[in-house]
Amino acid sequence: MNKVWKKLKQSEIKKTILDALAKNVNYVDENILGIPASYLDDKVFSQDASFLDDAPFIYSMVQNPNHIGCHTLGKSEHFFSGTHAIEREVIEICSVAILKGTLNQQDGYIASGGTEANLQAIWIYRNYFQAEENADRNEICILCSEDSHYSMDKAGNVFVLDVFKVPVDKNTREISKESVKNTVLKAKQAGKKY
């Protein structure tokens, strides 16, 4: 089954986001404890800055909904039902329209930045290897370029995984097949399988 997503006008995008945020919990009007998100303090970031009227994505960040992630195929928390619906659609667009997956068969997570995205991916793969391959944590590592974002080291620390870095050419910043091969060999020699 093919599905076509239509491009929305700016006014339609704004309405979609505002309608979605209206379905979410509201940190300004409600006393909320125990939900992993909060609004940006208006003493630091003005909630009524004029540019927010024409910046629906930034406005949604001001409202700071917690994207649920990894629950898109089943029932999820009701706190962010509005933006969760948008998250599901974005995951479908990426998985079906871009990666040629099957409708309603993909799961995912929408992150606001690279560190969070990298941590989420490494967490998912670590858990996958442990559950599906019966891997011991000490057999799992992170393999990345020495130019990779610091979040790789952070993920290694948070998830107690060793990080093996592939050297890059000092002038071009490129990695070579040989340097990848050598780094993988070092990881294997250290008992890493995943």
Give the whole-angstrom CA distance, residue 174 versus residue 170: 8
What is residue 49's predicted lDDT score, i.e. its pLDDT?
76
Backbone angles phi, psi at 170, to 5 degrees: -65, -25
Residue 93 is encoded by which pair of tokens?
Answer: 């667009």
**pTM for this predicted structure:** 0.69
Residue 40 has pLDDT above 70, yes or no: no
What is residue 70's predicted lDDT score, i.e. its pLDDT?
52
- CB-count exposure of residue 25 (10 Å: 0-12, 13-18, 19+): buried
pLDDT band, very low/low/confident/very high, at 6 (cuts 50, 70, 90) = confident
Backbone angles phi, psi at 21, to 5 degrees: -65, -30
Average pLDDT value over all residues in the chain? 85
* pLDDT tens string 57-90: 777 777 766 665 555 666 667 778 888 888 888 8
Q: Span 145-169, mean pLDDT?
A: 96
Q: Give the residue from 141, 138, 136 showing the smallest Cα distance to 187.
A: 141
CA distances from 162 to 8, 137, 139 (A): 44, 10, 9
